[in-house]
Chain A
Amino acid sequence: MKTVRTLLLACLALSALPASAADEVIVYSARTEELIKPLFDAYTGKTGVEIRYITDKEGPLLARLQAEGENTPADMLITVDAGNLWQAAERGVLAPYASGTLETHVPAHLRDPENRWYGLSVRARTLVYSTERVDPASLSTYEALADPAWKGRLCLRTSKKVYNQSLVAMMIARLGEERTEAVVRGWVANLATAPFSNDTQVMEAIAAGQCDVGIVNTYYFGRLQKKEPGIQLALFWPNQAESGVHVNVSGAGITRHAKHREAAGKLLEWLASAEAQGLFTSLNMEYPVNPEVAPDPAVAAWGGFRADPANVAEAGRLQAQAVMLMDRAGYR
């Protein structure tokens, strides 16, 4: 009994303390430390606002945010893939944050129509091919990779990765479920080997001659190119005459129960500003969302492309459908 009373008193004593300092923002991030810490450091250096964060996969972070409810310490959720942002918004853990600055910096199709989240960097998922064995003129669209001409020549990353789930989800939005399933079945039939666990392996397999063409996010190609400048691979921008290249975002939103809502809002605005956007593209070779910021020179060297203008939130709405479709098609 005595210990219980002591514990209770201790809790009450703790509760009398201020919950946290005023000049800080607490972030749950599914974007790895590697890619956010330099941004946070720059912001803290500039403004003196401390940023505390944990990183994890989006699933556990979202579960934690939901369970903590109004007692969450988190002010901001940063995650990759619009599908995850859409889920977070659907589950009510993000609050709308209207801001003129953000509206000018982030194009409409790269943010939530209800302002619950904003894209911060653009990731293009495109084709990569062997410059030794593939004539780029033989490439056209994602869908065309289902053609029997590519039998035994295609390498893919696992369907468990959200990037592929979003790609297929956006195809469902565009082509409908039936045609998309036929395409995915065609892909599976064309595989040279079982799907890989990451994009880099896909590219290395193409370079080694196990297959000729694959689908990857451009920044993985950038990293590999940096490591092996002479690698016999090139990017191809598909669907230019049709829907455009599939793009996705990493992004952030402010939590519904943020204790430092204003400070978090300022941070979010800064993340979309020219200064931070320059860091985004140079850190990870992604494309800036802010149209006024030029991509990193290495990124710009891959040439311009027409991106799919559909709102990336669709990827979230159709994600579960896409996952089930890929299961049916036998895409592991």
Chain B
Amino acid sequence: MTTLDGLAQGLEVALQPSVLIYSLLGAVLGTLVGVLPGIGAMAAITLLLPITYYISSQAALVMLAAVYYGAQYGGAVASILLRLPGTPQAAVTTLDGYPMAQQGRAGVALFTAMISSFAGSMLGIVMLVVLAGWLGRLATSFGAAEYTAMMVMGLVAASTIGEGRPAKSLAMVVLGLILGCVGTDVNSGAQRFTFGQVQLMDGINLVALAMGLFGLAEVIGNIRKAERDGPPPRVSLRQLVPARDDVRRLFAPITRGTLLGGFFGALPGTGSTISSFLSYAMERRVARRPERFGKGAIEGIAGPEAANNSASITAFVPTLTLGIPGDPIMALMLGALVIHGIQPGPMMLEANPGMFWGLVVSFGIGNLFLLVLNLPLIGIWVAMLRIPFRWLYPAIIVFVCLGVYSVRGSTFDIVMVAGIGAIGYALSVAAFSPALLLLGFVLGPLIETNLRRAMLISRGDPMIFLERPVACGFVIATLALLALPLVGMIRARRAARA
């Protein structure tokens, strides 16, 4: 099937009225959670996951994806107006967005964020189509050894490239892998770590784990923090219109940000947050007058906003073509696909073309919704920022309880979420990344199955990972990623001694 046939088929799927409605719903909900500091895309998608049991798989995936990229739009609003990032990806946008708002240019900053997000997403879709076809073909030549090595590389990349101490990040990944072992072992049927509890035989519930780690921990951490000092400034439509000089400054940062975000989004292990930080660093480096950054440079909004949207689109490449989620949100998407009986992987393009192309086309439609809705509705989003968090979080907690309960009608799961939430909050206070724990949890069973298969094929000879060139490449990359923090440490020691 050619790309054009695919797009035509995707258009047919994405234009079904029910799919359109869920795409719109997801885009609006995503913007809402992005705008409101204290509920991230992660928590929102987890909350919606149980609801998707009741709708068609296409509508479900389209809606969850729209929440994800919609949150990228919304996240910028609170960053610019209140210096409170609505999402982690939007943290960079506070650096120049808030100073612009203080100079009375909040409208232009918001316009820049939205138009850059839109451009980044649209170009990201093109990259998604090109990369997915290419990677899908490459992936059909992958065996168990390649899969194992690639997933291990993804996990190591996520722990060493991201923020925080690498040992702490790796520990979270390993803890996640261990939690993934709970339940019935597929190979032998042995009950692992179930301690006789029937509820644990299917393993720890993904929804319960994600809600505890993200929903609850985020709520607890934000109750005190989110009582803000002042109301956000008012923004009128006329203020959104940028000057000609502003427009001229947008093109290059958007292009650079999109390419950078598209590249890093497609790699497993790196996500949209890292892309937006890298894009900011790049813009400052290429700028003729870098001292403007941090004081309201429009490039400092355009580049990162384009980058994180482009990355959040291309993040679907490894998820859909390899079945390997690059970040925790993609891990949830993978979970949602599997719940709906769709196995992502190299065969998905052939086995489920309607799903794949429908999703691709819906990205375009959803982003169009976001652009035409968000510019005129900006006043409503700004008004949303006036709702104090104390009105929201008790309702969120009740929804968490009911969301978890509705998955399989078990109050045991609600109690489990409470326990996971307590641990998750304590971990996040100590600067451990719960996102990496979830990534390990989702990839754990896949890695174990592929590792066992690879060792069976090679008759117990671990050399299989070095003899096969692609697998060997992944192993070398993994070792390099592990060495990276060591090199940094040695350098810091030397610098301290000198």
State yes or no: do A and B come from one complex.
Answer: no
Residues on B lying within 8 angstroms of A by beta carbon are none
